[in-house]
Structure 1
Amino acid sequence: MRALIHDFETAGGSARHCGVVQLAVLGGVLHTDGRFESQWQHSAHYHPGGSIDPATTRVHGIHDEDVAQCPDYRHGIPPVYREATRQGFDALVMGYSNTGFDNVIARRLGCRPRRSLDLFIPAYRLKKRDGLESASLGHMYRELTGGEPTHAHEALFDVTMTAALVTPLMARFGFEDFASFLDWATVGQPVPGLRLRFGPSRGKTIESLDDDALTAALNGWRGGNIDVHASLDAEYTRRGLTLRPEQGRLF
């Protein structure tokens, strides 16, 4: 299967509005065993259309002066995705926490993947199942490959780490065929102890919410982590609540 792995570094702020300072993409073939064979690569810095939040600079190390002469991301990035589509890499777009971040930015810039895989989903399931310290990309890379995330938050290194996680994640969950793993990883599953990352109940576990807060969270979910929706739905059903809220189109 042809696939594209992408990662953005930004100037800070919401994925719906932020400027971009770096994009890295790998286009290639995902083999049956999950091995990613890279066939095309792009990595470049861009001017974000404004200043970079100092707090964001402390994460990725990119300063205003580093991108002062770079092309504006709004003009420079769309041709990258057009080329990816021309080569057929839009069959599957992959990333790490890309559902609520990288994919959102990419859609603003013309990316229209036929399918998406967020490797944070199976990684977080593994963290909860095995009691791992963290589900961050760097921690998972160290846990699953034995390598050191020496250049974490450098976009090209991040996509390289992401590519390296597919096969060991498959192995940890007993999958030998990538197609089966993809189906499993893209269907939401209830995860005990999941904490909300949105709304007035942000930071609370789903199980700890009262009925009104649970209903509000379920009604307020508008896409993102598929396991959050599955966990909200399962808890709602477990309590025997019947006035299921109208959510409209969520996916």
Structure 2
Amino acid sequence: MRALIHDFETAGGSARHCGVVQLAVLSGILGNDGAFYRRWQSYANYHPGGPIASATTRVHGLRDEDVADCPDYRRAVPEVYQAAARQGFDALVIGFSNTSFDNVIAHRLGLRPRRSLDLFLPAYRLKKRDGLESASLASTYQALTGEAPLNAHDALGDVRMTAALIPPLMARFGFTDFAGFLDWATTGQPVPGMRLRFGPARGHTIESLDDDALVRALNGWRGGNIDVLASLEAEYARRGLPARPEQGQLF
């Protein structure tokens, strides 16, 4: 299967509005065993169209002067995705926490993937199942490969770690074929202890919500982590609450 793996570093702020200072894209072929064979690569710094927040510089190390003479991301980044799409690598877009971040930025800049895989979801499921210390990219990489993280928060280091995580994640969940893993990883699964990241009950586990808060959270879900929705629906059903009307049903 043709696929691309991408990661952004930004000037700070919301994924819907932030400027881009770095993008790495690895495009290639995914084998049935999850091994990624690189065929094409883009890795560059960009001018974000404004200043880089100091807190963000402390994460990725890039300063205003480092990108002062770089091409403006608003013109240059779309060309990267167009080049990948011309080769068919937009069939599947892979990242780590890309559902709520990298994919949002890429969509602003013209990427329209046919399918997307966010490896944070299986990493988080593994953390909850096996008690891993963290579901971050660097921590999951070290736990599953036994190797030190590769230049964490450098876009190229992050996409390389993301590619390397696919086979061990498949193995930990008993998958021997990538197609089966992809279907499982892109279908919402109830996860015990899942915490909300939106609304008045932000930070609370779904199991701890009272009935009214559970209904508000379920009705307030607007996309993002598919395991949150699955966990909300499973808890709603477990409590035997009244059947919810189908979308668009008036009575």
What range is the shorter-chain TM-score in? over 0.9
Aligned partner of 2:183 in structure 1 is 183
Unpaired runs of 5+ residues, structure 2, are none
Deviations 1:158-212 (A, max 9, x none): 0000000000000001100000000000000000001111122111101111112
Is residue 21–residue 47 contact of structure 1 (8 Å, CA) maintained in 2? yes
Q: Assess, with a 3 A threshold, how the Cα gap between structure 1 residues 60 and 245 changes in structure 2: closer, same or farther.
A: farther
Aligned partner of 2:35 in structure 1 is 35
Superposed CA RMSD in Å reads: 1.2
Is residue 150–residue 161 contact of structure 2 (8 Å, CA) maintained in 1? no
Deviations 1:96-127 (A, max 9, x none): 00001100000000000000000011111111
Where do residues 139-178 of structure 1 align in structure 2 (5 Å cutoff)? 139-178=139-178
Alignment partners' CA distance in 2, 1:160 and 1:58: 21
Unpaired runs of 5+ residues, structure 1, are none
1:56 matches 2:25: no
Alignment partners' CA distance in 2, 1:23 and 1:47: 11
Is residue 219–residue 246 contact of structure 1 (8 Å, CA) maintained in 2? no
Alignment partners' CA distance in 2, 1:215 and 1:235: 10
Q: Assess, with a 3 A threshold, how the Cα gap between structure 1 residues 207 and 84 changes in structure 2: closer, same or farther.
A: same
TM-score of the two chains, using structure 1 as the length reference: 0.96
Alignment partners' CA distance in 2, 1:17 and 1:247: 30
Q: Assess, with a 3 A threshold, how the Cα gap between structure 1 residues 96 and 245 changes in structure 2: closer, same or farther.
A: farther
Alignment partners' CA distance in 2, 1:156 and 1:162: 10
Tell me the CA shift for residue 215 of structure 1. Answer: 1.2
* Percentage identity across paired residues of the two chains: 77
Alignment partners' CA distance in 1, 2:247 and 2:68: 43
Alignment partners' CA distance in 1, 2:117 and 2:15: 18
Tell me the CA shift for residue 245 of structure 1. Answer: 6.8
Aligned residues: 248
Tell me the CA shift for residue 246 of structure 1. Answer: 6.9
Is residue 28–residue 39 contact of structure 1 (8 Å, CA) maintained in 2? yes
Aligned partner of 2:198 in structure 1 is 198
Aligned partner of 1:209 in structure 2 is 209
Bigger mean CA offset, 112-121 vs 204-213 = 204-213
TM-score of the two chains, using structure 2 as the length reference: 0.96
Matched residue of 2:29: which SS?
Answer: strand
Alignment partners' CA distance in 2, 1:220 and 1:50: 33
1:120 matches 2:120: yes
Matched residue of 1:191: which SS?
Answer: coil
Bigger mean CA offset, 64-73 vs 173-182 = 64-73
Aligned partner of 1:5 in structure 2 is 5
